[in-house]
Amino acid sequence: MVLVTTGVRRVMIEHHLEAQGFDTKAFIATGQLAFLEASALLAAFMNEGMPDAELFKIRVEQVIEAASINPVDGQPRKVRIFDEMVSLLYMSSNVPAAVRLEGFWNQMVASHSISLFCAYSLKLESDRLPQSLLDAHTHDLSTVVN
């Protein structure tokens, strides 16, 4: 599992996992869990306010390759990525860049058979994501009642 997230969310996730009895340090050491800073990865492939397809492909394929092999036994493993980079673009009101990035992710999911989970922060509780962003997803859990 690769978590591309903000520092604040990383701390929350680590505390939650540890409270549930999981040893996050051991998961990180074995490569079962990796945290990447969303803003740093995003900056690595942005060009004039828009994600660059080739830079995205290079950076994200490096992440996928690192996560796809078990360092202990060399066996392949399924890659799951949780990403907040699109949310960062949405929160900065750069919806066109967010839509483009979702398209790049969809290509990566198809070409590498990874699972991708997205999370969006909303500016207001009453906000609804633009339809163009919702259309970029195979599942929309925003209306699921707890």
Cα dist from 71 to 28, 33, 78, 80, 135, whole Å:
11, 12, 13, 16, 37
The predicted-structure confidence for 87-97, as pLDDT tens digits, reads as follows 899 888 898 99
The alpha carbon torsion through 87, 91, 95, 101 (nearest 10 deg) reads -30
Burial 55-72 (b: 16+ CB within 10 A, else e): ebeebbeebbeebbeeee
Sequence letter at residue 88: L
Look at residue 30 and tell me whether its pLDDT is greater than 90: no
Across 6-15, 44-53, 119-128, least confident range = 119-128
